[in-house]
Structure 1
């Protein structure tokens, strides 16, 4: 019975025992019916208090362990979010360093945020840009020029002529920086 019921539930143990003992039984080959006695369990108050303290401590330890696991999970989630979303990292920093939020800092952070999100590695289009960069780096100048013209035509076809002009301008700047002009072959 001790394994079924803790000391603090001695009334439940008592009821369980009496439900078994209080049933009548006929004796085989005798005109006699037996009714078992009633059991009453008692527990010392200090033992009950000790058990209650032990149960409370076990419960508190389990609760603390659950809270610690939850905090660790939240910290890991925050770390993942901060490492993949640069703007969230900046916002988190400003929340914890409000004295740093003067107008100059806000403007600098705004510019930095725009730069970071433009090249954020988790953005699919940035990955496409990296693939294009890998593809373009081995092309000779005429092939690069042809690629830029083809992309510019696509931009124009989708009613984005200003993007086509910007693409051509960037391509010209990159060629002059790299030492490749549209008319000179690469080495």
Structure 2
């Protein structure tokens, strides 16, 4: 897959020795290292739970495990294209620019909006307005157009349980807690 991506962008990629490519690689490595150092997944979520466990089991010390351990050993590859927005990092050497991840993120966003009590039916209008503002700018070419996103979101409205998600209780208009 990685070789296919490299082939598709042939002629548009900067060599790995180019200063911009080297800069992107340094930044990506710094971010990955910082995440490995800084993100720890605690086995114990609260001081109260730790006290309860140590009271029952005596003096026990619970360790943190690195949250980023799943990326250890990956051969990170960096490709930088000559365009203004086409710099990307490939963990595990996989990149797909189908736009489906953005569409899926839009759909999840609709569910979250509805869960928070907002009307997700406004989202397609937002993307149509976004398309009018940005036009066919290549700066957003890694994402589907605003019109395409609006069209997809309008279709997904049929599948969202909007009523139950947006319901309010009669307690001073407070939003209903959702499971």
TM-score range, shorter chain: under 0.3
Provide TM-score, normalisation by structure 2. 0.27
Larger radius of gyration: 1
Q: Between Structure 1 and Structure 2, which shows a larger proportion of strand residues?
A: 2
Provide TM-score, normalisation by structure 1. 0.26
Q: Between Structure 1 and Structure 2, which shows a larger proportion of helix residues?
A: 1
